[in-house]
Structures are given as structure tokens and as C-alpha cells.
Amino acid sequence: MAIVLKRVYELPSPRDGVRVLVDRLWPRGLSKEAAKLDIWLKDIAPSDELRKWYHVRPTQWRKFREKYIEELSGEGASAALDELHRLAAKGKNLTLLFASRNLDQNNATVLKELLDGMRKPPRSTGAGAAAAIRRSARAR
């Protein structure tokens, strides 16, 4: 199984396998037919607040990543992440679609890292969970 990252604006390919949009907002100027999505997991995307925070602080990648992983332990995001893990476990190609122009530092790259290791973020938000997130971030 391959997990691939791809801008949603790129042409679909038969090699994409299951195509999953991992953004909260629908990509501008793109029709649903052209996107050829299998699933849109809105709840797995960063919150509007975090997205806007990172937009004005693009040099704060590490902090964005840490905050995003914390958000993934929330109720709605957790269920969407479970769904993404189920899709990845099926052993078929999985393409995570995103709209960001930054190909290397976006929420899809964080999700791919989690899926590649088949790790889920801690469910707790206590001090132990925060320490585990920081250790995980430093390990990369």
C-alpha cells in the first residue's frame, strides 16, 4: 500500500486508489466532478483558528504541527482519523488531497507521517499526552 500526497488541483490518476480530501474548506474553482473524490474528511482538517494562525505564521511549522496533533485527539477529528486509519489498513493505495500551495508543510504531511507509522495521537490532553506529542515531534 502506498500513501501519496497530492494537490487536489492535480489531475486524478488510476494509481491514486482511494482519494480523500483532508481540508475543511472546499477548494476554490474546483467542481466536485473534477475532484473525483471518494471521501471528504472535513473533521480531520485543522480548525479554522489553527489554519488562520498558521497562514499568518508560515515559519512556525513545528508549532503548527504540534497544535494540529493536539487537535487530532478531539472528538470529531478522532473519528475522522479512525476512518483514515481504516482506509490505510485496507492495503490499497491511498491519496491524501489538499489545496495548500506548500507541498511540504501542510496538514496532509502530518497525516501521512501518522499513517506511515500507523500511530494515532494520544487521546488524553493531560501533561503526559503533551509530553508524548513533544517527544514524537522531536523524534522526526
Residue-wise pLDDT tens digits, 84-103: 999 999 888 999 999 999 99
Task: Average the pLDDT over 66-87 and give the result.
Answer: 93
What is the per-residue pLDDT across 5-51, written as a single tens digit (0 to 9) for each? 999 999 999 999 999 999 999 999 999 999 999 999 999 999 999 99
Q: How far is it, in rounded angstroms, from Cα 43 to Cα 59?
A: 25
124 has a pLDDT exceeding 50: no
Question: What's this model's pTM, rounded to 2 decimal places?
Answer: 0.81
